[in-house]
Amino acid sequence: MSTIPWETINPDGRWRVIVTKRLPGTEWIDILVGAGCRLEICSSDEILSGEEIASAIGDTCHGAIGQLTENWGKDLFTVFKKAGGIVYSNYAVGFNNIDLDAATRLSIPVGNTPGVLTETTAEMAVALTFATARRTGEAERYLRDGRYGGWLPTLFLGELLSRKTVGIIGAGRIGAAYGRMMAEGHKTDLLYFDPYPNQTLEDYIGDYSRFLESKGEPPVKCRRVESVEELLRESDCVSIHTTLDESTHHLIDARRLALMKENALLINTSRGPVIDEAALVRHCRRYTKFRAGLDVFEKEPQLADGLDHLENVVIVPHIASATRWTRNGMAMLAARNVSATLKGYPLWTKPDITPFLQSDSPQAVPSIVNAGELGLS
Q: Name the CA radius of gyration of the chain, rounded.
A: 23
313 phi and psi, to 5 degrees? -125, 130
Q: In the window 63-92, what residues touch ligand DGY (CB under 6 A)? A: 68, 92
Does residue 128 interact with ligand DGY by CB under 6 A? no
Q: What is the residue type of 246?
A: E
Lay out the sheet containing 110-111: strands in order across. Answer: 6-9, 37-42, 15-19, 63-66, 87-90, 110-111
Q: How many residues belong to the site for ligand DGY (CB under 6 A)?
A: 7
Residue 62 known to be catalytic = no
Catalytic residue of the set 241, 318, 327, 336? 318
Nearer to ligand DGY, 61 or 98 (CB): 98
Nearer to ligand DGY, 294 or 320 (CB): 320
Among 129, 132, 321, 339, the residue binding ligand DGY under the rule CB under 6 A is: 321
Please give the full DSSP string across 106-165, using - where no structure is assigned.
TT--EE--TTSSHHHHHHHHHHHHHHHHTTHHHHHHHHHTT---S--TTTT-----TT-E
Query: Cα 80 from chain centroid?
Result: 26
Nearer to ligand DGY, 117 or 284 (CB): 117
Catalytic residue of the set 271, 283, 291, 336? 271
Residue 365 CB, nearest approach to ligand DGY (Å): 18
Q: What is the residue type of 152?
A: L
Angle between helices 199-214 and 173-186 (to 10 degrees): 10
- The rounded distance, in Å, linking the Cα atoms of 303 and 260 is 23
Catalytic residue of the set 119, 184, 300, 373? 300
Nearer to ligand DGY, 128 or 284 (CB): 128
- The rounded distance, in Å, linking the Cα atoms of 100 and 300 is 21
Residue 68 CB, nearest approach to ligand DGY (Å): 6
Residue 262 known to be catalytic = no
Q: Is 40 helix (H, G, I), strand (E, B) or coil?
A: strand
Nearer to ligand DGY, 257 or 275 (CB): 275
Does residue 117 interact with ligand DGY by CB under 6 A? yes
Among 86, 238, 281, 320, the residue binding ligand DGY under the rule CB under 6 A is: 320
Angle between helices 324-342 and 118-133 (to 10 degrees): 150
Does residue 39 interact with ligand DGY by CB under 6 A? no
Residue 271 known to be catalytic = yes
Among 53, 76, 93, 191, the residue binding ligand DGY under the rule CB under 6 A is: 93
Catalytic residues, which ones?
Answer: 271, 300, 318
- Which residue ranges make up the site for ligand DGY (CB under 6 A)? 68, 92-94, 117, 320-321
